[in-house]
Chain A
Amino acid sequence: MSDIRLEKVKKNFGATEVIKGIYLAIDPGEFVVLVGPSGCGKSTLLNLIAGLETITEGDIYIGGKRVNDTPPRDRDIAMVFQSYALYPTKTVRNNITFGMVSRNIPKADQDAAVEEISTLLQIERLLSRKPGQLSGGQRQRVAMGRALVRKPDVFLFDEPLSNLDAKLRIEMRTEIKKLHQRLGKTIVYVTHDQIEAMTLASRIAVMDNGHIRQFADPAAIYEDPVDLFVAGFMGSPPMNMIPGKIGAQDGQCVVSTGSPDEDPLDFPLPPALYERVSAMEGRDVILGLRPEAIFAAGTELPGANRFTFERPVSVVEPTGPDTMILFHHAGLDVVARVRPEDARPEGTLFSFEADMEKTKLFDAKTTLRI
């Protein structure tokens, strides 16, 4: 079980800077997920940790050892790839033992390891088949078996579930989580699926354009996003971002949104935020409200700092357990989450209630959280 440290890591491909100076400290036994949109550099970062890419600047430490110049085989890592990367002409057994042969492990030990792993992953019946004869889920398990058998200190996963169908993905996700609980090894996991990130990680690193925007546990990422990007990336449907200005009204701080001629809405801020916005009158801000923070008026238990307003229903989207109601405001479609029985048809004037305790305020120019 090793810790991983990245210090001032930069990676250029030719003239393009892909990783732009990253600091990352992963504790032993953590399950860290690197998440972000395509092209943000998460796979590159994983490859740097694995040694599949050379580092342009900076240092990488695994288990306290500087590994910049160590080839992948000596870094005590194992990796599971998006396309599983099984050796197509070898049987499952030979796929698993391939690495052990390279390391001159005696045959008896090899067989014992294969036994252990195949029982753990339930692939005993598949040992003499070839990858082409396996289903996606089975291939995934063989790929994990191949990684496990190395008994490494660090496991690396590069979007391992992207090629599976939705149902299988959820199954395998749980299996990976159980594996981590059982083995307790350090895991670095790359995905573009924020639900995977939320469910699997002990800490999430949200990446964008070669930088890590925020590195924290899932709850903090969700409830305490550090900027607009993180707030908008995590959560589905995404957080509503309503542009407005800080103002004062009847002794309260409000965010005035919407144009004055159209129906303006002044969202009152909770007292907890007063301190932070005291000197900001007139500042352009973005008011962030997650869909679950806007619901049908009166349908939740009463609480402090609620704001009720009325708007005509623009679109109704039933999702099964909830119904999303969209209304038009300040030039965008704002999404509210209501119970299916509270939904009203399009065009009706609807009473919404917003829980202002849950609001997140962002500076419009710097996109940072206020």
Chain B
Amino acid sequence: MSRKNLSGIVQQTGAQHVVMRTLLFLTLGVFCLYYLIPLIVMIATSLKSLEEIRAGSLLSLPQEVTFDAWNKAWSSACVGVRCDGLQPFFWNSVAMVVPAVTISTILGALNGYALTKWRFPGADIIFALILFGAFIPFQVILLPMARTLGVMGLAGTIPGLILVHVIYGLAFTTLFFRNFFIGVSSGIIQAAQIDGAGFFGIFFRIVLPMSLPAIVVTVIWQFTQIWNDFLFGIAFTVGDSNPVTVALNNVVNTSTGVKEYNVDMAAAIIAALPTLAVYVIAGAYFVRGLSAGAVKG
């Protein structure tokens, strides 16, 4: 509900009002700077040469814009022993994120659908148990998961990481879809049942097409969470199978050689671009996802 309904309330006009409005915009502006400056610094630094960084100051814009740091970050920076830049790890992340998001979303939709539209005894308890899984600190499953992946022959591989993200993403995707489906009237389902459709028929032909908003929110949320993940990446992959976040950390925290801050910044931007792009393009859905995730079951 927007505040447009109240914009018409007759106010005391006059100096006091104008002063307050100016103060309001100033404050909002200051906070805009607060949030934007790190981004600007990051971009500016990545476009400077090392000499300029040392000679110049934090907030100065690059006098000579150079993309050398970007090239290096992408194709020749050293991640551990391998000096091929972030590129291979970027594609690792892509290869990991796409299946993980797709699978966890579809399964979440199925789960949410079954739990809300087909009441069976214990549905609520099952949901509560699944939901709790979203809140656990993952430290508590790191060790057994590492062992299990080893036993399954998936230790240190991307498919292993996909499996982990799907399993632990299920709690959130189920939550999103369940909340969405609760708002969908059961009448539609019942009408379809009278028409003779079955569980899966209703799911694929009626429910799924109408859950587009929920799908978008879920996909964006999952994409952001999984791409940005670090803990699972560092715990369950090794070396060549690292996702881009782990690679970034390695680049930035190498203790050997000269610290190339511009390369660090460029690498950070590369790692951040996909989720940032998704946010800018589909921001509204992202916000909806944040609120939905926060709203109680």
Q: Identify the closest chain B residue to A70 (Cβ).
A: B10
- Could you tell me if B10 and A71 are in contact, using CB atoms closer than 8 angstroms? yes
Q: Number of A interface residues at 8 Å Cβ cutoff, please give it.
A: 10
Q: Identify the closest chain A residue to B11 (Cβ).
A: A71
Distance in angstroms from A350 CB to nearest chain B CB is 42
Output the residue of B6, B10, B12, B13 with the most chain A CB within 10 A: B10
A53 to B10, CA, bound (A): 6
Q: Tell me if B284 is interfacial: C-beta within 8 Å of chain A.
A: no
Quick one: CB contact mask for A33-74 with B, threshold 8 Å, 1 for yes?
Answer: 000000000000001000111100000000000001111100
Q: Identify the closest chain A residue to B8 (Cβ).
A: A53
Q: In terms of DSSP, what is the predominant structure of the interface of chain B?
A: loop
Quick one: CB contact mask for A307-327 with B, threshold 8 Å, 1 for yes?
Answer: 000000000000000000000
Distance in angstroms from A34 CB to nearest chain B CB is 18
A71 to B9, CA, bound (A): 7
- Could you tell me if B8 and A69 are in contact, using CB atoms closer than 8 angstroms? no
- Could you tell me if B9 and A52 are in contact, using CB atoms closer than 8 angstroms? yes
Distance in angstroms from A44 CB to nearest chain B CB is 9
Q: Identify the closest chain B residue to A11 (Cβ).
A: B8
Quick one: CB contact mask for B14-58 with A, threshold 8 Å, 1 for yes?
Answer: 000000000000000000000000000000000000000000000
A69 to B11, CA, bound (A): 7
A72 to B10, CA, bound (A): 7
Contacts of B10 in A (CB 8 A): 51-54, 68-72
A68 to B9, CA, bound (A): 11
Distance in angstroms from A65 CB to nearest chain B CB is 14
Q: Identify the closest chain B residue to A14 (Cβ).
A: B4
Contacts of A53 in B (CB 8 A): 8-10
Contacts of A70 in B (CB 8 A): 10
Contacts of B8 in A (CB 8 A): 47, 52-54
Quick one: CB contact mask for B201-222 with A, threshold 8 Å, 1 for yes?
Answer: 0000000000000000000000
Q: Number of B interface residues at 8 Å Cβ cutoff, please give it.
A: 7
Q: Which of B194-250 contact A (CB under 8 A)?
A: none
Contacts of B12 in A (CB 8 A): 71
A51 to B8, CA, bound (A): 8
Distance in angstroms from A297 CB to nearest chain B CB is 48
Distance in angstroms from B216 CB to nearest chain A CB is 29
- Could you tell me if B9 and A72 are in contact, using CB atoms closer than 8 angstroms? yes
Contacts of A51 in B (CB 8 A): 9-10
Distance in angstroms from A59 CB to nearest chain B CB is 13
Distance in angstroms from B183 CB to nearest chain A CB is 22
Q: Identify the closest chain A residue to B13 (Cβ).
A: A69
Contacts of A47 in B (CB 8 A): 8
A47 to B5, CA, bound (A): 11
Contacts of B11 in A (CB 8 A): 71
Q: Which of A3-50 contact B (CB under 8 A)?
A: 47
Distance in angstroms from B248 CB to nearest chain A CB is 47
A52 to B8, CA, bound (A): 6
A71 to B6, CA, bound (A): 13
Q: Identify the closest chain A residue to B12 (Cβ).
A: A71
Contacts of A69 in B (CB 8 A): 10, 13
Q: Identify the closest chain B residue to A55 (Cβ).
A: B10
A69 to B14, CA, bound (A): 11
Contacts of A68 in B (CB 8 A): 10
Contacts of B13 in A (CB 8 A): 69
Q: Identify the closest chain B residue to A48 (Cβ).
A: B8
Distance in angstroms from A135 CB to nearest chain B CB is 26
A54 to B8, CA, bound (A): 5
A47 to B9, CA, bound (A): 9
Quick one: CB contact mask for A63-94 with B, threshold 8 Å, 1 for yes?
Answer: 00000111110000000000000000000000
A72 to B11, CA, bound (A): 8
A119 to B118, CA, bound (A): 52
Distance in angstroms from A48 CB to nearest chain B CB is 9
Distance in angstroms from A245 CB to nearest chain B CB is 49
Distance in angstroms from A76 CB to nearest chain B CB is 14
A71 to B12, CA, bound (A): 6
A70 to B10, CA, bound (A): 7
A54 to B6, CA, bound (A): 10
Distance in angstroms from A11 CB to nearest chain B CB is 9
Distance in angstroms from B113 CB to nearest chain A CB is 34
Distance in angstroms from B12 CB to nearest chain A CB is 6
Contacts of A72 in B (CB 8 A): 9-10
Could you list 13 examples of A-B contacts with CB < 8 Å? Answer: A52-B6, A52-B9, A52-B10, A53-B9, A53-B10, A54-B10, A69-B10, A69-B13, A71-B9, A71-B10, A71-B11, A71-B12, A72-B9
Known: A54-B9, A71-B9. 19 other contacts (CB 8 A): A47-B8, A51-B9, A51-B10, A52-B6, A52-B8, A52-B9, A52-B10, A53-B8, A53-B9, A53-B10, A54-B8, A54-B10, A68-B10, A69-B10, A69-B13, A70-B10, A71-B10, A71-B12, A72-B9
5 A-B pairs closest in CB distance: A53-B8, A51-B10, A54-B8, A71-B10, A52-B9
